Amino acid sequence: MRKAKTKAKGKGLWNWMKRHKVVSTILCLLILCFLVMAMSLGVLLWNLNKDNVGIVDADDVDPNADEVQIAREDQKNRDVINVLLVGSDSRDPNAELGRSDTMILASFNKAEGKATALSFLRDSLVEIDGHGQSKLGHTFAYGGVGLTINTINQQFGLDVQDYVIINFENLVEIIDQLGGIQVMLTEEEVAYYRENGMPDIVAGNVTLTGSQALAHARNRSLDNDFGRTERQRDVIYGIYNKVLEQRNDPSTLLSLIQFCMTQVSTNMSVTELYEMAMDVLSVDNLKTQQAAIPTEGTYEFGTYEEMSVLNIDLEANKDYIQELLY
């Protein structure tokens, strides 16, 4: 089982960062790539001080526990790192309380120098261990992040062991501290936003304030969940690009990191996050890509037990994920 780093060790790392400004800049980018990027996705579902979900042998997992443990998986490729970002927008009056509103796999392939943001749509109908068939988004309510990870691994042939649970409440402040982020808006999106409290917004590659970016990431009124998750990924990349612009200002980035680290729940240590970011930032001309599961042509809209669901072709999506990530 992973254990969180002690407070003393955490202080030691921060002091080391302050003494080595060049490396501290890299670490700022690192955590912001994997934590600040992540913070554009959802609301904190439990506090950072809560015990981490453990990793155990598959035979020791109780799928009916209130907090399901993560089943240990062998890493499929030593050059590929996968982290699941989970969030829920509890301020949405139409949201299903306690169910994961957002599930995005952040994947980095060191050998190929590429980073991928892969959204899993919450309405996908899947087999959930111990609970039968239901929506993928229901796994969090049934057994926490452990059951969500186990289900994704089982259904899509992945090896996820690490997670970040995100606080959406602070997205506005983070983006405003960055001076806003650039996002491409369509004419249709702009028309909708002008009718809903943003009278001066324009189409094209525009700078959004924190509140505007939050509204954009939540918007699913114009299309469906596919459109909403694409907008969420666009906001992630907007944050990522703005962070890169400020990589020569370590003091500003360090203050953002310190804020972010108190707003997320993760089973990863600061050292693990540091090492991951070092790998990412060592790549010249990092290739980025984004996608959603199920992919186009591999699903049908349907109903199951009076729920609207996506009936998906699991094998086709497994193949697509393997090609995309590896």
pLDDT confidence of residue 6: 36
The pLDDT value given to residue 309 = 95
- What pLDDT band is residue 24 in, cutting at 50, 70 and 90? very low
* Secondary structure, 3-state, the chain: CCCCCCHHHHHHHHHHHHHCHHHHHHHHHHHHHHHHCHHHCCECCCCCCCCCCCEECHHHCCCCCCCCCEECCCCCCCCEEEEEEEEECCCCCCCCCCCCCEEEEEEEECCCCEEEEEEECCCEEEEECCCEEEEHHHHHHHHHHHHHHHHHHHHHCCCCCEEEECCCCCHHHHHHHCCCEEEEECHHHHHHHHCCCCCCCCCEEEEECHHHHHHHHHCCCCCCHHHHHHHHHHHHHHHHHHHHHCCCCHHHHHHHHHHHHCCCEECCCHHHHHHHHHHHHCCCCCEEEEEEECCCCCEEEEEECCEEEEEECHHHHHHHHHHHHC
Tell me what pLDDT residue 29 has.
Answer: 43
pLDDT for 248: 66
Mean pLDDT (whole number) for 44-53: 47
1 pLDDT higher than 70? no
pTM: predicted TM-score of the whole model, two decimal places: 0.71
> Which pLDDT score is estimated for 220?
76
For 208, the token pair is: 């959004």
Interval 8-34 mean pLDDT: 40
- Mean of pLDDT over the chain: 78
| pLDDT (0 to 100) of residue 302 | 96
Average pLDDT of 127-135? 96
Q: What is the pLDDT of residue 157?
A: 96
Query: Where in the chain do CATH 3.30.420.590 domains reside?
Result: 7-170+249-325
Q: Tell me: the pLDDT tens digits for 233-278?
A: 788 778 878 877 766 666 666 666 666 666 677 888 767 776 776 7
We find that the CATH architecture of domain 7-170+249-325 is 2-Layer Sandwich (3.30)
| Residue 202 reports pLDDT greater than 80 | yes
Q: Is the pLDDT of residue 218 over 50?
A: yes
pLDDT at 324 (0 to 100) = 95
Query: In the chain, pLDDT over 70 holds for what percent of residues?
Result: 71
pLDDT of residue 12: 41
The pLDDT > 90 percentage for the chain reads: 43
| 16 pLDDT more than 90 | no
Convert the pLDDT of each residue in 282-316 to its tens digit. Answer: 788 888 888 889 999 999 999 999 999 999 999 99
